[in-house]
Each structure stands twice: as structure tokens, then as C-alpha cells.
Amino acid sequence: MNLVFISPHFPLYFYNFCDRLKKREVNVLGIGDTSYEELPEHTKNALTEYYRVDDLEDYESIYRACAYFTWHYGHIDWIESQNEYWLELEATLRNEFNVTTGPKIQHLAPMKYKSKMKDVYKAAGIPTARYRQVDDYLATKAFANRVGYPVIVKPDNGVGATSTYKLSNDDELDYFFATKDSHIHFIIEEMVPGHVETFDGITDKDKNILIATSHVMLNSIMDNVNEASDTAFYSQPVEGLDLYDIGKKAVEAFDTRSRFFHFEFFRLDEDKEGLGKKGDIVGLEVNMRAPGAYMPDMMNFAYNVDVYTIWADMVKYNKCFYDIKRQYWVAYTGRRDGIWYMHNYDQIREKYGNQVALETDVPEALAAAMGNHVFIVKARTQEEIFEMIRYILKREDGTDWM
């Protein structure tokens, strides 16, 4: 079996996907824009061969790399990146090299365009926020006044919270129109009074869910980026929740065959006319790849499994060999440079010891959304995990972030 993995060196922990495949005797063929000499040793060891290109945005270079691999290893069976930014590249290459184990470019729109996602959610009976395309100024202004401020504007085809803004009045809408990037196609949607709960997991080729979990956001990625705030979220048991049933509907509605998936939902914090009652679930977005921000590792810590292995076994055998049973609550806490905290890193390490499952600096390219320095901690109860979040993010002046 031959699998091409695009950008195996970034984000830094993505080498794990390649490592588990190689251990299953899959030819893991990496394409990246970093020289081989500069690759971390664990990434080198996880690859069968590496093809360096000057620019991953240069399609012809990527095409030549895949042609080279085909010449040397035979037909390519899989093309993957697990990165939202490269999904369209993956899908285009699947067309070119007749790879049938993932969506092709002509089928990708419902998984990339936020407006198209809403259509699929609606067909599955899952409500979503009202929206319209940002085109005509007067029509857009009329929409904003009809649904009521604040409203959200964001790229129809975008990654993360880039170029996403909350507008609170007509003046801010006017400023947005005067300064927006003319190359980006935006949509505008009503503000949903709720918090984000995800549904994350892996499916086999028949959309059977091999593992699933959920993460609860304590603030929005949009606010993280635009306000340079701390970042925190935690994993919750999804078994038995209404979120599992709705998440399963979404898995059936989208092309999730043989995929890592990351669905985002709002849980309403108050009644919202046209959407539902407090506590109801509203569809937000779809990401047909592994969740970011070390969430795969959080799944590992919560269930005492290795999701990179589960994914690799799905690729190679279409099976999961783990007994899936949750053991811990897990929290992600991202501290921000420039904010003064009450407790230093040594105090956190001393207080929580081996409950600190992972500690790391975040690469600058990801820090806007993830924070600059991360502690991932685990505990047996929700109460304990909340106390850990409070302790790690407590400000120097004694105020609680959470």
C-alpha cells in the first residue's frame, strides 16, 4: 500500500500519522517544503521516502512529486494531509492519480464551503444560523438589521477563524465593507447565543464510527485570534449525550467514509427564535480531517488509546482493535505571552505532577488560535478538571479567567 502524506512535518505532531502507517508496512511518501536535513529525526524515521518541493502552493511541483512516487512505487492508494488548508489539494490530486479512498475535488464543496455545509445540515434535520452571501451592500445591511446585531462575517471557504469578525452595528458593517479583502468571498450570518461543542472521531469505509468524543470550548477561536486571549477547552464524555445522536446524523449526511472528522456545533445558552430552546444543538461547521490543537492527543489521554494507531488500522485493515472506554476528563489550557499569571510553570508542574499529560510551546504560526504555551491536564472528574483550568489561567491580580 502506498500513501502520500502532504506536509508530514507541520504541525509538529503530525509525524505520528506517518509513524503508525509505516509500522504497518505502508509505504509512507512525504511531500514537504522543508529540506530533508532540517526534518526532525522522528519525521524522517516515519517516512519511506521524502520529496522536497520549493513551495507547497505550487501545484505542478506537487503533481511531479506524486508522478515520481507512482513511477517508483506503483499506484498511489491514499493521499492525505489531515490539514484543512490542503484538503482541496488532496482532492485535486485524487482526481489526477485515480485515488478512490477520499473525496475528489468535484465532491468537496459541502466540506469546504460554509454555505454548502448549511444545506447538508438542513437536509439532515439539523438547524443552522440564517445567512446570506456578502455581495450587495444594501441587501447585506438589510439582512443584518433583520436578524439583529451582532452578526458574524467570515470567508465562505476559510480555515479556522482567519478573517472572521463580529460586527455590532451599522457603522462596523460600513467599515467592514470599506476595508474587506476583495479577493475573499464572505458570508454573513446571525450570531448564535451559545458555546461550541465538537463531535470528533474516526469512521471506517462504511461510515461506522470507530471512536468518537467531544470537546467543549470555553471561549471562541474567533475571540482567541482577534482579542489575543487565553485559550481553554475540555473533553467531555459523549456517550449517551444528545450530541452523539446528532453527530451521528452529521456523519451519515456528509461523505465521512474512511475519515477523521471534526464537526462543530453550538449548544444554545438561551432561547433563540428560529433555532431552538436553551440547550438545543445547532450545526456550525464541518472539518473533514483530524481536529487540531492537540485534540488527537487529548483523545488518547481520555481513552488511554492511540488514535494515530486507530486511524492507521482503519487505513490498512478498515478496523479498530481497541476496546474504547473513557477513563479521564482532559483539558487544554493555552497561556498567552504578554499576560501575567499568578502561577509559574514550575508551580503548575509541582502541583499537578503526572496529571500534566503534555506541555509544549506552540509554533508562532498557530499561536494566535492556540496560545503560546500549552498545558494539557487530565483528571477523573469534571470538578477537578475545572479547578485545574482555573489554577493554570489565574491572573496575577487574582482574577479568574474561567
Q: Give the tens place of pLDDT for each residue, 71-117.
A: 999 999 999 999 999 999 999 999 999 999 999 999 999 999 999 99
Average pLDDT over residues 196-211: 98
Q: What is the pLDDT of residue 368?
A: 81
Residue 228 has pLDDT above 80, yes or no: no
CA angle, 76 as apex, 75 and 82 as ends, to 5°?
175
Phi first, then psi, for residue 351 (nearest 5°) are -70, -40
Contact indicator for 6, 79 with CB cutoff of 8 Å: yes
Least confident of 35-49, 129-143, 259-273, 354-368: 354-368
pLDDT > 90 in the chain, percent: 90
Q: What is the pLDDT of residue 293?
A: 87
Q: Starting at the edge strand that comes first in sequence, how are the strands of the sheet with 209-217 ordered?
A: 281-287, 260-268, 194-203, 209-217, 231-236, 329-335, 373-379, 356-361
Grid cell listed for 287: 472539518
Query: Which residue has 522536497 as its cell numbers?
Result: 52
Transcribe 203-272 into DSSP letters: E-TT--EEEEEEEEESS-HHHHHHH---EEEEEE--TTSHHHHHHHHHHHHTT-TT-EEEEEEEEESS-B
Spatial distance between the Cα atoms of 188 and 322, rounded to a whole number of angstroms: 43
- Quickly count: other Cβ atoms within 10 Å of residue 250's Cβ: 20
Q: How much is the pLDDT for 225?
A: 63
**Residue 369 near residue 294, CB atoms below 8 Å:** no
Q: Do the Cβ atoms of 191 and 150 come closer than 8 Å?
A: yes
Q: What percent of the chain has pLDDT over 70?
A: 98
The length of the chain is: 402
| Average pLDDT over the chain, rounded to an integer | 95
Nearest to 264 by CA among 286, 242, 234: 286
Label residue 402 by pLDDT band (50, 70, 90).
confident
pLDDT > 90? residue 30:
yes
**Structure confidence at residue 401 as a pLDDT band (50, 70, 90):** confident
Q: Measured in whole angstroms, how far is the alpha carbon of residue 230 from the centre of its chain?
A: 18
Whether residue 296 is preceded by a cis peptide bond, meaning omega within 30 degrees of 0, is no
Average pLDDT of span 196-225 = 90
**Each residue of 248-265: pLDDT tens digit?**
999 999 999 999 999 999
What does the pLDDT average to over 31-43? 97
Q: What 3-state DSSP class applies to 371?
A: coil
| Cα distances (angstroms) measured from residue 147 to each of 113, 161, 167 | 22, 22, 13
SS3 (DSSP) at 172: helix
pLDDT attached to residue 370: 87
pLDDT in tens, 152-202: 999 999 876 688 999 999 999 999 999 999 999 999 999 999 999 999 999
Q: All domains of the chain, ordered by start, with CATH?
A: 2-103 (3.40.50.20), 130-190 (3.30.1490.20), 196-393 (3.30.470.20)
